[in-house]
A = this chain, B = another copy of it.
Amino acid sequence: MKITREADYALRIVAMLAKSDKQIEAKVIAEKNDIPYRFTLKILRKIVQAGYLKSFRGVNGGYMLNKKPSEITFRNIIEVIDGEITLNVCLGENGCCSSNGKCALKQKLQKVQDIITSELDDITFEDVIEDMQ
């Protein structure tokens, strides 16, 4: 029941950019967060595509947030990388087993999943910046 390492890196990258008031090069992001450079580029591309970061080309190019830190949640960034948060296979897109949802387990797990997504929705990168200071 883990977020992937890639999602963990994505959270770190966005936290770093949320704290910065200017754009940061991919190379610096990679080095400061101990993430392989090519992997950093791959993650950055996904977050840009999802609209949470913008990139600038050229000599002074780099990355910065495309929204306010208070408008980006942990859930947003985790879902960009790992897809929709689903605690159990039966709660995902492809539905569930032959019991067809009439299952006490599913109801219980759905409740826990709702709590997880709601908690991750409540944490914004504004909160993270505050704790970093």
Contact = CB atoms under 8 A, between A and B. Distances in A.
B132 A104 contact: yes
B82 A15 contact: no
This chain's copy number in the assembly = 2
The dominant DSSP class at the A interface is helix
Interface of A: 1-3, 5, 8, 11-12, 15, 34, 74, 78, 82, 85-90, 92, 97-98, 104-105, 107-109, 111-112, 115-116, 119-120, 123, 127-129, 131-132
Contacts of A115: 115-116, 119
Nearest to A112: B119
A128 B128 CA distance: 38
Given A15-B104, A119-B115, A88 B3 contact: yes
Contact of A116 (B108, B112, B131): B112
